[in-house]
Amino acid sequence: MDLAGKVAWISGAGAGIGRASALLFARSGASVMCADVDAARAEATARAIEETGGRARSQSVDVSDEQAVREALDATAGELGGLDVVFNNAGVGGAGWDRTNAINLSGVFFGLRHGAELLAKRGGGAIVSTASIGGLGGLWSVFASEGPPDDGVAAYVAGKHGVVGLTRQFALHYARRHVRVNAVAPGYITTDMTDRIRAAPGVERAAAELHPLGRFGRPEEVAEAALFLASDRASYITGVILPVDGGYTAR
């Protein structure tokens, strides 16, 4: 029970990596606030947790709205009696420049800004954000393309590099106030986000082969890494970007 007695806020908890993390964090003893722009999906995750004996609530939050993020974090502390872990996980792929950066970069910044301050005032805590292998290098396109890069891919890579920078900056800033700040950097994971890639058999194989382990990762495998960074087992770890990528970034 790595998170026994703790309260965790998870954005993007309605699907994919966020949902898997909400379920795992709850199984590990945390009370979980499932935040998502899709209220019904957030509610479904919270219900799944409660049905298996865990404790959870849900919130409808668009992380690109700073005021909404601040209120959501405050409400979590009020409703669940504390706040120990903030997981800035919500993100999109395939959107244009402005929308991608509003969610993937500004959304994480808002979670860090308000989450870190709230945790510091409470005496400490842990923040995890979801970066990407696209935050540690450019993404090799698995689709044939000509002309300029798709602005969604460019925004995705720029934003995820930004998440890496923000993670390091906030880790330094909050170290003496006992808030650890880290990120996971997933490779290709079997979630809705990679549907388009996995729909085309040749493309799916090519994408899988980019990872030395030869396959996509599962959302549960990313959740395990996030749990580690969120828990006291990682008590001497701050400012790191942990690849969960089947060896993609080792090449």
Ligand X SMILES: NC(=O)c1ccc[n+]([C@@H]2O[C@H](COP(=O)([O-])OP(=O)(O)OC[C@H]3O[C@@H](n4cnc5c(N)ncnc54)[C@H](O)[C@@H]3O)[C@@H](O)[C@H]2O)c1
Task: Write down the residue that tokens 């729909």 correspond to.
Answer: 199
Amino acid at 43: E
Residue number with CB closer to ligand X (178 or 218): 218
Question: In the bound complex, what is the minimum distance in angstroms from residue 178's beta carbon to ligand X?
Answer: 26
Question: In the bound complex, what is the minimum distance in angstroms from residue 69's beta carbon to ligand X?
Answer: 9
Choosing from 63, 157, 207, 223, the residue that interacts with ligand X (CB under 6 A) is 63
112 contacts: CB under 8 Å, gap ≥ 6: 86, 88, 127, 129, 166, 167, 170, 181
Residue number with CB closer to ligand X (14 or 54): 14
Q: Is 248 a catalytic residue?
A: no
DSSP states of 178-206: TEEEEEEEE-SBSSGGGHHHHHSHHHHHH
Task: Write down the residue that tokens 């060896």 correspond to.
Answer: 247
Q: Is 91 in the site for ligand X (CB under 6 A)?
A: yes
x/- contact string, 211-250, with ligand X (CB under 6 A)? ----------------------------------------
Residue 7 to residue 16: CA distance in whole angstroms: 20
Q: Is 115 in the site for ligand X (CB under 6 A)?
A: no
Q: Is 166 in the site for ligand X (CB under 6 A)?
A: no
251 contacts: CB under 8 Å, gap ≥ 6: 212
Residue 189 to residue 226: CA distance in whole angstroms: 14
Q: Is 71 in the site for ligand X (CB under 6 A)?
A: no
Q: What residues are labeled active site? A: 156
Chain residues binding ligand X by CB under 6 A are 11-12, 14-18, 36-38, 41, 61-64, 89-92, 103, 107, 130, 132, 186, 188-189, 191-194
